[in-house]
Structure 1
Amino acid sequence: MDWFSGSYKHVHFHMFSASHIAALILLVLIAFSIFLFKDKLRNRNMRTVELAVAFFLIGIEATYHIWMLHTGTWTADRSLPLELCSFATFFTILLLITRKNIFYEILLFIGLLGASQALITPYLFFGFPHFRFFHFFCTHILIVCTPLYFTWVKGYRPTFTSVIKTMIFLNLLVPVISFINQLTEGNYLYLHHKPSTASLLDFLGPYPWYILSLEGVAFTLSIFVWLLFRRKSATVIAEKEFHHYF
């Protein structure tokens, strides 16, 4: 079963290969479809689909850890679910199950900014058609598309307070993960060094300054996401409706 083995000798991942590009195209198609059919989706009972996606994520995450145990690659310094996209996966599951706004607020920012960057420059060694390839892209695509679904279909919107909550969450997370890194000799959240593969961190300076640079980038991009998805004022909506009729 090469697709579930612990070796990527015959299924090595190559950035911007045909399978990588196909996964990115799939992301764009799903996001575009959610936006295009948002009115039809809004008028349908999507609860079963939401729960199905949540349990799919739970299942594929559990299978991922089973795969690591099966192949003898599970280690405390690399395999704990303490990366930003791991937290985003948890928030995705919680949002789909509970529909609570607090999970949406944080997921919108860490999902769109973190998972989208991971999709473009994946820290991944297993290529198509290995299980790890499907696990990586399925989870990250759902992390990105779920908050878009809740924005366009369910009508959720971020506020400036959402940006503040996200930054507080991230800044509370850093010392906790840093402590765990000390205990496990790990590099969760890349707090000790940059990933070995190419990433946007390469443009943010050397250690430890890239961590401070990343904070500034995260805040700036979060403001951009807030401006892009915030609820428009009644005045702007009224003006658009006026021009629509005249």
Structure 2
Amino acid sequence: MNSFLDDNFNFEIYSPEHIIGVISFAIFGILIIWIGKKNKSAASKRTILLYFTFAIFLSQIAKVVILLSLGRFDEKTDIPLQLCNVAPLILWFAYYFRSRALWGIIFMWIMAGTIQSNFTPTLEHSFPHFEWFRYWIIHVLVVIAVIYGFVVLDYRLKWKDIFISLFWLNIFALIVYPINLWLDANYLFLVEKPNGKTMFDLLGKWPYYILQLEFVAILLFSLLYLPFHFWRKNPMKVESNSQTLNQY
């Protein structure tokens, strides 16, 4: 039990442990998509997804509970205010209320932001620490969960999702920034760049990298939309799940 709870600071980026973590959780997630795709019942497809996304969110809550019980909770780092932390809960609401619009926002956030965290993780603790499990659950399985909406439920992006996603991302940042100042924290990396090797290393110093990230977000959101644009121009014959969609 001590190895599960005690901090070890042994994780190394691009190590076999890193690669195995990503691949193993990705395989599990792909299995969930396969089960959903094979299921003939639209209600069952959605039920599987609701349990899946809620379980992902619970892993984040479990971290808070564990740290509080150990007396190691740090309000500067452990409040779930990073995009990767809040995305599973928002995604659960999107699927529960059958909101394609909300799914579109979270799809952009996750595919543009969370997915890169699998290649440049800020994880510090190695297996079998609980944070090792939580990190991959949050960062790998949430990607699988949002792809589920596309592959199984036939959700599609619209061009205006680019700007709606950017708008709400900025609103979220405006809410989090004063919290950072109050707590002397760095949620969403709005105060300084994260430690370790990340995509932030390619950007300028604060506050210029914040402005640069706006353009990066627009570029990534646009690239994410392009396949859906060409999909509409050259529609492929796919199984219809229109009863699960909720248009604007």
- TM-score class, shorter-chain normalisation, is 0.7 to 0.9
Q: Distance in 1 between matches of 2:229 and 2:41?
A: 22
**Cα drift, residue 95 of structure 1:** 2.7
Q: Does the CA-based 8 Å contact 1:95-1:104 persist in structure 2? A: yes
Matches of 2:37 and 2:80 in 1, distance apart? Answer: 36
Aligned partners of 1:177 and 1:189 also within 8 Å: yes
Cα deviation code 1:110-148 (max 9, x no counterpart): 111111111111111111111110011012112111121
**What is the CA–CA distance in structure 2 between the aligned matches of 1:64 and 1:71, rounded to whole Å?**
11
The whole-number CA distance in structure 1 between the counterparts of 2:184 and 2:65 is 22
> TM-score under structure 1 normalisation?
0.86
2:16 aligned residue: 18
Displacement, 1:70? 2.3
Q: 1:146 to 1:49 in 2, by over 3 A?
A: same
Q: How far apart, in 2, do the equivalents of 1:138 and 1:196 lie?
A: 21
Does the aligned pair in 2 maintain the 1:13–1:124 contact within 8 Å? yes
Structure 2 distance, partners of 1:32, 1:20, is 18
TM-score, normalising length from structure 2?
0.85
Shift of 1:36: 7.1
Q: Aligned pair 1:82/2:87, yes or no?
A: no
Corresponding position of 1:114 = 113
Q: Which amino acid aligns with 2:16?
A: A
Specify whether residues 31 and 132 from structure 1 end up closer, same or farther in structure 2 by C-alpha distance, changes over 3 A only: closer
Q: Structure 2: which amino acid aligns with 1:13?
A: F
Q: How does 1:16-165 map to 2 (within 5 A)?
A: 16-26=14-24, 28-29=26-27, 40-41=38-39, 45-165=44-164
1:4-63 superposed Cα distances (whole Å, 9 cap, x missing partner): 324215xx2111121210122235545766777875346663233123213312432221
- In the alignment, is the contact (CA less than 8 A) between 2:112 and 2:220 conserved in 1? yes
- CA-CA distance at 1:205 after TM superposition: 1.4
Runs of at least 5 residues in structure 1 that lack an aligned partner in the other structure: 242-246
Matched position secondary structure for 1:237 = coil
Structure 1 runs (4+) deviating above 3 angstroms are 26-39, 41-44
1:227 aligns with 2:226: yes
Distance in 1 between the 2:129 and 2:98 partners? 32
SS in 1 for 2:160: helix
Aligned-pair identity (%): 27
Distance 1:182 1:19, change over 3 A: same
Secondary structure in 2 matching 1:22: helix
Give the number of aligned pairs. Answer: 237
Match of 2:8 in 1: 8
- Which amino acid in structure 2 is aligned with residue 138 of structure 1? I
The 2-side partners of 1:155 and 1:231 are apart by 15
**What code does the residue aligned with 2:159 have?**
F
> Contact 1:31 / 1:148 at 8 angstroms: preserved in 2?
no
The answer as to whether partners of 1:54 and 1:97 remain within 8 angstroms in 2 is no
User: Contact between 1:38 and 1:152, CA under 8 Å: does it hold in 2?
Assistant: no
Please, which runs of 5 or more residues in structure 2 have no aligned partner?
239-248
